[in-house]
Chains A and B, each alone.
Chain A
Amino acid sequence: MILGEPGPPRAVPSPRALTCPKCKSPLEFSLFNHPELGSCANCGSKLQVEAFPALFRREGSGRDGELVMEGESTCFYHPAKKAVRPCEGCGRFVCGLCDCELHGQHFCPSCLEVGRKKGKIKNLENHRTLYDSIALTLATVPILLVFTYVYSFITAPAALYIAIRYWNAPRGLVRRTKIRLILAIIFATAEIAAWLIGIYFIFNNRRTND
């Protein structure tokens, strides 16, 4: 075979075919949008399928950007491509290839990446650390476990520090109040106070005995 000559056609699984999650065989249409459970023709698994029009939507092929003509604006990243719109983050002109749409807003790839890393674009955020849970765990677990209460000497100040340091930090993306932080501060303060009172009494008793 010579360079550039296409090979014989090969069969690839269609992304449209819904498959049984157990045996991976294509599902029959009779199972679709049926109110009761049906059986997979291959493995007999009981299944219910709720299909929506997006299953039959034709996805356009990847945009490649039009070539620039004389007098037209060019893409900042691809000087040979015609600019289709400015990025709403940085204002740079971008071509069809670089234009990333997100909720009706258009960004260039670098703004999208910066937005994701810095958490500026909320809809790209896919991870959050729950500092309130960390603080509450540090404040409560050592005193709940009988033999670890001595560790509260270290964990209580740590819990107090985390609760104050991350008081304004974003908590979970879904509903989450400050109750854990408040409880962490209360417990940690009480533990620190208990330690200070304990130390004071120990030294006071020694002094009295001496």
Chain B
Amino acid sequence: MTDSKYLRLTPTRQSGVIGNASLWLGPDHLLCVESMIFTEEYKRFYYRDIQAFIIRRTKFRGILGLIILVPLTLFTWGAIGMGYAGDTGGSVFCLIMSGIFGLILLLNFAFGPTVRCYLKSAVQTEELPSLNRLGRARRAIARLRPLIIAAQGQLSPGEIPERMREFNAGKPAQDGVATNPDPPIINP
């Protein structure tokens, strides 16, 4: 009973300590799958309801790079030191380990800057954990854009201030705030 109406949008990525997350394209909605070892949670975001994606660049790539740099340096020193001491076995082991950490460091930088991507609808702002790199997030949004445009229509950058003015003209609002009357006060 596997549902084949979904197409994978992003590969499965670590989310939290033991969970992972992925995004799937449905016929009229985006499906966010969050797995926790033996269970899966689903969140559906209908294309007609998606208001915006917000990508925020984070410093995690740099921090991760520094963390990886510590064992890389230690193993490289170890390899040189053991090489001078004549311990070939130890030197080769340290060299392999420093190679592994070097590769991880290289991949960390090759994948591009780390980001947090948020999806905003009328009633919620959800983080999409599987979109954790800038390039991946942009590619995913580029694939989603035509589907959302098909459901909602297009919006050019120049149109936005005009649309916001029009929207605010319909309601008494100032700088992103709207005025609502207080509920009646009951005074016995």
Distance, CA A82 to CA B155, complexed state (A):
39
The reply to whether A32 and B157 contact each other, CB–CB distance below 8 Å, is yes
| B interface bracket (residues with beta carbon within 8 Å of A) | 35 or more
Contact of B148 among A52, A122, A130, A171 (CB under 8 A): A52
The reply to whether A125 and B42 contact each other, CB–CB distance below 8 Å, is yes
The reply to whether A54 and B48 contact each other, CB–CB distance below 8 Å, is yes
The reply to whether A9 and B176 contact each other, CB–CB distance below 8 Å, is no
Q: Report chain B residues within 8 Å CB of A133.
A: 37-38
Query: 8 Å CB contacts to B: which residues of A112-170?
Result: 122-123, 125-130, 133-134, 137, 168, 170
Distance, CA A36 to CA B55, complexed state (A):
11
Interface size on A, residues (CB 8 A): 64
Closest residue of chain A to B137 (Cβ to Cβ) is A48
Does A175 count as interface, using CB distance less than 8 angstroms? yes
Q: Mark each residue of chain B from 157 to 168: 1 if its CB lies under 8 Å from any CB of chain A, else 0.
A: 100110110110
Query: 8 Å CB contacts to B: which residues of A171-194?
Result: 171-177
Total A-B residue contacts, Cβ distance less than 8 Å: 188
Query: 8 Å CB contacts to A: which residues of B172-188?
Result: 173-187
How far apart are A66's CB and chain B's nearest CB, in angstroms?
A: 25
How far apart are A152's CB and chain B's nearest CB, in angstroms?
A: 19
The reply to whether A176 and B52 contact each other, CB–CB distance below 8 Å, is no
Interface centre among B2, B57, B153 (most CB of A within 10 A): B2
Q: Report chain B residues within 8 Å CB of A37.
A: 55, 57, 134
Q: Report chain A residues within 8 Å CB of B155.
A: 33, 51-53, 55-56
| Chain A residues in the interface with B (C-beta under 8 A) | 1-18, 20-22, 26-27, 29, 32-34, 37, 45-59, 103, 122-123, 125-130, 133-134, 137, 168, 170-177
Q: A10-B182, A52-B50 are in contact. List 16 more A-B contacts (CB 8 A).
A: A6-B182, A10-B179, A11-B174, A15-B123, A18-B51, A34-B157, A45-B56, A47-B55, A47-B57, A48-B55, A51-B160, A54-B50, A54-B51, A58-B170, A174-B31, A175-B2
| Chain B residues in the interface with A (C-beta under 8 A) | 1-4, 6, 8, 22, 24, 28-29, 31, 33, 35, 37-44, 48-57, 116, 118, 120-123, 125, 134, 138, 141, 145, 148-149, 152-157, 160-161, 163-164, 166-167, 170, 173-187
